[in-house]
Chain A
């Protein structure tokens, strides 16, 4: 297993590198740069001022030189400073990543805890009333984007009913407490979890239907095991395998995936930060964020493999 993990990480390193090169390349090829961010609409910027700005950000050097400098610095743990306000990139990302993981982690947890059991439930009752209604709900959940659910939830539960605050992460006039954070977290995370619930339920249901008809399940029933034991000890462990892949694939989206919800609920997470970074052509921030996302992708893939081996003893990585 350890050997497998090491090999896996070694194989993934070039992929990581490729991703940073692609993102860097994109910001290079596209017209315009961070100077545009400092340009004001009613004041002409002199050529000298532009040149001075570019020198300050090191943009006067060739792209290749800048890329390798960045890479060298990152290897030493230095992510550089934001172009737009000079804050260290690592500090900004650290702060925003916490907020994002709190929001998306909660949403993913709700998604798994609600979606998978519901899938198991209707997977045993194919074509029943519950199957029809929940499958219908999952269709709706998959077809409704989070920005539509988001604005409707904001209007109904925050603005009209006033059950939840209309945005942000903490109260404006007082310190954040555990209670206030949960209060702020609840609405956006429920909105985000709807998509997860719908997706996980669909996959679990389908997988259950596949496993239920296998011979070993009949054997278990024939032995006289209770239906609960057959379901949870015999069917679910096998049916859950494909669902683990789907959950694993959702993990990388934890970082920037909430961009719509963050925008609607003014949640100070990575999604809205990413938008700021691309709009301001803030290359160091953009590169740093993509590196973090790529690391999450890598980590999620490896975790998925490990989870597979834990759930299914037939799988051994050598």
Chain B
């Protein structure tokens, strides 16, 4: 875009324009290449993380809840590559299994949020009027009230299970999707192909689902990707506070909870470092993929 503004002025400057003009062009190509490679690299890393987590029962050297009082708080060794925690559970095993929880929560919560957000956004963008007013007021309330507050409340009141966490995060993460879908529906409902369908007497429900919805999918993909990352972070956060997935089921968040103890934080670094690193790595990769997708589809979209 900078070229667009720069070209006319630099053309007028004659010879010097070559250096001025060339640099951003080269850099942009470099950037595109980098971006692309980063996103692809991120996809590969995510695939590896997903595969090792799903296949944890195959790869993991020990059962995830096996307590070995003869080998407590062991630093990394050949028998325990990542060491063991205070009750002798293998950290590598628990980190692998913890990935299952993160993937499940990330995907599950996003699926719920996408479903709710799409329905609300579609109804409000297609019908406008009072439906829109009511639904958007609700959406704005959910969006501006800090969701962490409601999540803490629900997580503390409901029994601690992976599915409850999926539900809690999903039920509170839909406003972004709803607003995006609404904006798309509002512009698409005025387009000629929708007019044509309406003239042919196609019922509203069919116009929404078959005619408009497929066109909304592309801009939604990037947002959905980012929300997977957000859900993984939220689960880790709730579990870190002792409100998420209950032990002995390992999750990266509840493994990190141990680090709230200063002694463990300082002296048993290996017990909390792998889940911390995996959380950051996974979310970073998810965000890179989301960014790559957004650039590929519509670079003007801010998320």
Chain A interface (Cβ < 8 Å from any Cβ of B):
15, 18-19, 22-23, 26-27, 30, 32, 126-128, 132, 139-140, 142-145, 147-148, 151-152, 154-155, 159-160, 166, 203, 206, 209, 212-213, 217-218, 242, 249, 252-253, 255-257, 259-260, 263-264, 274-275, 278-279, 286, 290, 293-294, 297, 300-301
- Judge if B28 is at the interface, Cβ distance under 8 Å: yes
Tell me how many residues of B have a C-beta within 8 Å of chain A.
Answer: 48
Residue of B nearest to A279 (CB): B156
Smallest CB gap from B301: residue in A: A206
A151 touching B241, Cβ below 8 Å: no
B174 within 8 A of A: no
Shortest distance from the beta carbon of A178 to any chain B beta carbon, whole Å = 27
B279 at the interface (CB under 8 A from A): yes
Among A139, A144, A148, A293, which residue has the most Cβ atoms of chain B within 10 A? A148
Bound complex: CA A182 to CA B109 (Å): 40
Pair A253/B236 contact, Cβ less than 8 Å? no
Q: Are A290 and B149 in contact (CB under 8 A)?
A: yes
Contact between B145 and A212 (Cβ–Cβ < 8 Å)? no
Known: A22-B150, A127-B30, A160-B266. 18 other contacts (CB 8 A): A15-B141, A19-B145, A26-B157, A27-B157, A126-B24, A147-B240, A148-B276, A148-B279, A151-B260, A155-B269, A206-B302, A213-B5, A218-B5, A257-B146, A275-B152, A278-B153, A290-B149, A297-B144
* Cβ contacts under 8 Å, A275 to chain B: 152, 156, 241
Q: Which residues of A contact B2 (CB under 8 A)?
A: 126, 212-213
CB distance from B237 to the nearest CB of A (A): 6
- Tell me if B's interface is mostly helix, strand, loop or mixed: helix
Task: Report the minimal beta-carbon distance from B292 to chain A, rounded to whole angstroms.
Answer: 12
Let me know if B236 and A252 touch, CB within 8 A.
no
What string of 1s and 0s marks CB contacts (under 8 Å) between B229-266 and chain A? 10001001100110000000000000010011010011
Nearest to B24 among chain A residues (CB) is A127
Chain A contacts of B145 at CB under 8 A?
Answer: 19, 252, 293-294, 297
Point out the residues of chain A lying under 8 angstroms from B11, CB to CB: none
Q: In the complex, what distance in Å separates the CA atom of A300 from the CA atom of B156?
A: 27
Pairwise interchain contact B287-A128, C-beta atoms closer than 8 A: no
Tell yes or no: B16 within 8 A of A by CB: no
Which B residues touch A26, using CB under 8 A? 153-154, 157
Instruction: Please indicate the chain B residues that have their CB under 8 angstroms from the CB of A19 in the complex.
Output: 141, 145
- Interface positions, chain B 1-30, Cβ under 8 Å from A, are 1-2, 4-5, 24, 27-28, 30
Q: Is B217 an interface residue (CB 8 A)?
A: no
Cβ-based interface call for B283 (8 A): yes
> Least Cβ distance of A102 to chain B in Å?
18
Q: Which of A127, A147, A259 contacts B28 (CB 8 A)?
A: A127
Main secondary structure of the interface of A (DSSP, over half): helix
Scan residues 211-230 of chain B and give those whose CB is less than 8 A from a CB of chain A.
229
> CA A310 – CA B137 in complex, angstroms?
25
Contact partner, A23, options B153, B237, B269, Cβ 8 Å:
B153
Q: How long is the Cα–Cα vector from A209 to B3 in the complex, in angstroms?
A: 12
Minimum distance in angstroms from A199 CB to a CB of chain B:
12
Query: With the chains together, A49 CA to B302 CA distance in Å?
Result: 58
Report the separation of the CA atoms of residues A212 and B1 in the bound assembly, to the nearest whole angstrom: 9
Q: Which chain A residues lie closer than 8 Å to B241 at the CB level?
A: 259-260, 263, 275
19 residue pairs bridging A and B, Cβ less than 8 Å apart:
A15-B137, A30-B157, A140-B284, A145-B280, A148-B256, A151-B265, A155-B266, A159-B262, A209-B1, A212-B5, A249-B144, A252-B144, A253-B146, A259-B148, A260-B240, A263-B241, A274-B149, A278-B156, A297-B145
